[in-house]
Structure 1
Amino acid sequence: MPLIRWEGRRCGRWIAGAVTAVLLAAAVALTAIVFPSVAATTCPGCYGLERLRPGLYAEPGQAPDRRRHVSEVVEQANGRVRDFFGGRRSSPDVLVCLSDDCYRRIGGGGERGIAVLNRSVMLSPRGVDPVIASHELTHVELHARLDGAEVPQWFDEGLAVLVSDDPRYLAPTGDRCLLDAPGPLPATLDDWLRAASADPRLYAKAACRVSRWAGRNGGKEGVRALVERLSAGQPFPAIQAAR
């Protein structure tokens, strides 16, 4: 009897382990099918990307000058983020596709780039540019510094425009506002995505509000101080449009 009970327990543990392994494999497979971008940023090599250096992966088979261009773009983008925030607290992997087929394979859509779960960044062929790359890297850096605190989506996007110095949505000098936004701006991600698809000027509106607030509150240092206060649990201030 003791032997039978011991064998039963061992068999039960084996079955439980096998079931757990099957469930984990199923979960991984489901993630790869339903959320390929998450799977790709978790295992870039599983999607055919090669490592150019730690944290940077690109579509393979590229000429040396093109590989060098990818590295230079990402380094410039990292520099913009580092300079604005006075250092880095995030170190996201960056996945770069140089063909549309590659970008679709890793879960990309029509965007130029995207931050995945605020931990990694994917760039499309149209996003291999310091502006686009630094925009997405800013999202990751901001959320690393917020440490779970929330900000309105318009602030998240407007700050990314400001850090990336995007000439599409910012004036080159002085009051950098190109399009004033006197009314409310979308606060949630879902609302932002819906509004931005209907109004491509929304990024300029958000950038206007963030850049003017920064101008009145100490520039980069003021933004960094705000983020620190938010990460400490203080509520997001009522930032209004101002001339």
Structure 2
Amino acid sequence: MSTRPRRTRRWPWFAAGLVVLILAAAAVPVLAFPSVAATTCPRCYGLVPVQDGLYSERGLSTADRQRLIEVYREANQRIDSFYEGRESAPTVLACFTPGCYERIGGGGERGIAVLNQALMLSPRGIDPVIATHELSHVEFHVRLGSRRDQIPQWFDEGLAVLVSDDARYLLPRTAPDRCRNASSEPLPRTLHAWLRAAGADEEVYAKAACRVYQWVDAHGGEPAVLDLVDRLNRGERFAALVEG
């Protein structure tokens, strides 16, 4: 009587290997992009709700908690006022300690918007101006949708300075001309070029803010931005509307 060779059951090993690969693939974005993971699951990074949409570290003092709530409230009011309402609802992660900000993927910046869905504030960014700046990026991008690709980085940054009313880069509203730096030199169009320029000289923010302020002022004031968004969403081109 012949004997058939025994077949080794390999499927359990295959299944185990597949699970390992899936877990490894899931870990890659967490390790490579902790800011994305943190804004998706703030609790996973030790942050707790302060109020709806706002997270911070555990154990905040009463004073720090109240300060954060006031910053959040004022920044949202500025966005609501400028954009005449809201279409975005980003999650906000605010850190009072450098260790917290590093843990969630932050660097040397005061604040940063993450994928138009969230923003992170460093200890130096818990300020209405910085919070408004980042919220403006998110609101502007959400309103534009796929048209966002038309917007050069200098306009996006200059607009965020204008919306946040950043006194570092713009003169007071009472000034006949709010420009602090009216340079006519070409400004960075891509994010990479912008980061390189801003790292070398923060005056690029003042130059961009002046350029945006001048365009807004020449086109009827703040409502010109909402009109721009509408026209872009109807298919018109940014270059023709702003740079033409």
Q: TM-score, normalised by structure 2?
A: 0.89
* CA displacement at 1:193 relative to structure 2: 0.6
Equivalence for 1:159: 159
Task: Provide the rounded CA distance (Å) in 1 between the counterparts of 2:130 and 2:16.
Answer: 45
1:87-106 matches, cutoff 5 A: 87-106=85-104
AA partner of residue 167 (structure 2): P
In structure 2, the partner of 1:177 is: 179
- Cα distance between partner residues in 1 of 2:243 and 2:94: 37
What letter matches 2:128 in structure 1?
Answer: P
1: distance between equivalents of 2:153 and 2:167? 20
Q: 2: distance between equivalents of 1:37 and 1:201?
A: 27
Residue 28 and residue 184 in structure 1: after superposition, are their counterparts in 2 closer, same or farther (change >3 A)? same
Structure 2 CA distance for aligned equivalents of residues 77 and 28 of structure 1: 34
Q: Distance in 2 between matches of 1:211 and 1:102?
A: 36
State which of 192, 195, 198 in structure 2 corresponds to 1:193.
Answer: 195
- Code of the residue aligned with 2:53 in structure 1: it is G
1:220-242 deviation per Cα after TM superposition (whole angstroms, max 9, x unaligned): 1111100111122211035359x
* Secondary structure, counterpart of 1:185 in structure 2: coil
In the alignment, structure 1 residue 77 sits paired with structure 2 residue 79: no
| Stretches of structure 1 lacking an aligned partner (at least 5 in a row) | 1-10
String of CA shifts for 1:25-66, please: whole Å, max 9, x gaps.
323311111111111001000000001111100011111221
Aligned partners of 2:93, 2:26: CA distance in 1, in Å? 20
Greater shift in the superposed pair: 166-175 or 85-94: 166-175
The RMSD of aligned alpha carbons is: 2.1
Partner of 2:229: 227
Cα deviation code 1:86-122 (max 9, x no counterpart): 0000000000000000000000000000001122100
Whether the 8 Å contact between 1:41 and 1:93 is mirrored in structure 2 is: yes
Structure 2: which amino acid aligns with 1:221?
P
Distance apart, 1:17 and its partner CA: 10
Q: Distance in 2 between matches of 1:73 and 1:209?
A: 28
Structure 2, unaligned stretches of length 5 or more?
1-9
What SS does the aligned partner of 1:148 have? helix
Between Structure 1 and Structure 2, whose CA radius of gyration is higher?
2
Q: In 2 relative to 1, CA 209–188 (structure 1 residues): closer, same or farther, beyond 3 Å?
A: same
CA contact (8 A) 1:214 1:220 kept: yes
Q: SS at the partner of 2:112?
A: strand
Q: In the aligned structure 2, how far is the partner of 1:17 from the partner of 1:148?
A: 41
CA distance in 2, matches of 1:81, 1:96: 18
Equivalent residue letter for 2:156: D
8 A contact 1:209–1:240 mirrored in 2? no
Once residues 130 and 169 of structure 2 are traced to their aligned partners in structure 1, the CA distance between those partners, rounded to angstroms, is 12
